[in-house]
A and B are shown apart, each in its own frame.
Chain A
């Protein structure tokens, strides 16, 4: 099993960023029939009124993946994914966004494994509300990647322990 090394302190491993962004592209391509476009939107991560799907990978690396979907994107993507309309305010919205986060993380874990990095998935957690902010802990660093798909814009935040805080 390979232990991931950061390119340099305070940066995330390239393999992790590549695998997660490829997983997002692949997952949304299978839902919409075309890959989402990556966008340069700086570091703004607040979704306003929206839903966050949160999942962790544990093993050769400790990281978390947060899928941030603004309300209208969440409604469009979950309807397309499930094949029927999902009530934004209802419990099924949490179910589907959690499943989406799970699919992205499962795909990323498969890609990491093919690079010799084994990781297990946690169960997903979902948060819904206004301006929900994920607070980063001391030894972690993050990368935010914005996307635009047919259903609207969304982002993915990838966080992992930095080299200084990495567990072996």
Chain B
């Protein structure tokens, strides 16, 4: 499965760590879009070209949680999972991200490749199903035209 993922973090090293760790998982083959903060991510965000988003919380300009709120306020973005990858460990923050803002998963730094696989396998199954559905949809179009 090929996945187009956006990685948002103000730290270039952390973005690389997230991307390297994801590549080490056996979840998918990745293609990445990088963003330095929430504002940069919003500019680059295109729901038709993304399968999943990984967002840090504490960033300058626009933080990760405001980015999630803004994305979830847009129409047609509900099918794109957003994963918070953050050092914020307080339960209140986890609840804000998952229950109020609309993030789908919460991963605390530092993390291991195994932890990523465990936390993300359900979301990646969902993405695979979505891709199959849209594949089915396009196949039908091709068959109808034929």
| Chain A interface residues toward B at CB < 8 A | 27, 30-31, 81-83, 86, 92, 95-96, 98-99, 102-103, 105-107, 109-114, 118, 121, 123
Q: Give every chain A residue within 8 A of B17 (Cβ-Cβ).
A: 82-83
Main secondary structure of the interface of A (DSSP, over half): helix
Q: Give every chain B residue within 8 A of A113 (Cβ-Cβ).
A: 90-92
Q: Given that A86-B13, A95-B12 are known contacts, is A106 also in contact with B89, CB under 8 Å in the complex?
A: yes
Q: Are B110 and A106 in contact (CB under 8 A)?
A: no
Write the chain A residue with the least CB distance to B88: A106
Residue B134 lies at the interface, judged by CB distance under 8 Å to chain A: no
Q: Are B87 and A105 in contact (CB under 8 A)?
A: yes
Residue B39 lies at the interface, judged by CB distance under 8 Å to chain A: no
Write the chain A residue with the least CB distance to B111: A30
Q: Give every chain B residue within 8 A of A102 (Cβ-Cβ).
A: 58, 87, 109
Residue B50 lies at the interface, judged by CB distance under 8 Å to chain A: no
B107-118: CB near A (< 8 Å → 1, else 0) gives 011100000000
B46-87: CB near A (< 8 Å → 1, else 0) gives 000000000000111000000000000000000000000011
Q: Give every chain B residue within 8 A of A99 (Cβ-Cβ).
A: 11, 13-14, 87, 109
8 contacts between A and B (CB under 8 A): A83-B17, A98-B11, A109-B88, A109-B90, A110-B90, A113-B91, A113-B92, A121-B87
Docked complex Cα distance between A113 and B90 (Å): 6
Residues of chain B at interface, number, CB under 8 A: 20
Q: Which one, B13, B20, B90, B91, contacts A92 given CB within 8 A?
A: B13
Contacts A27-B110, A83-B17, A109-B90 given; 15 further ones with Cβ under 8 A?
Answer: A83-B20, A96-B11, A96-B13, A98-B11, A102-B109, A106-B86, A109-B89, A110-B90, A111-B89, A113-B90, A113-B91, A114-B91, A118-B90, A121-B87, A123-B58
Q: Are A95 and B110 in contact (CB under 8 A)?
A: no
Q: Give every chain A residue within 8 A of B90 (Cβ-Cβ).
A: 106, 109-110, 112-113, 118
Q: Give every chain B residue within 8 A of A121 (Cβ-Cβ).
A: 58, 87-88
Docked complex Cα distance between A91 and B130 (Å): 40
**A-contacting residues, B17-66, CB 8 Å:** 17, 20, 58-60
Q: Are B89 and A95 in contact (CB under 8 A)?
A: no
A35 to chain B, nearest CB (A): 15
Q: Give every chain B residue within 8 A of A114 (Cβ-Cβ).
A: 91
Docked complex Cα distance between A112 and B92 (Å): 11
Q: Are A103 and B58 in contact (CB under 8 A)?
A: no
Q: Are A103 and B13 in contact (CB under 8 A)?
A: no
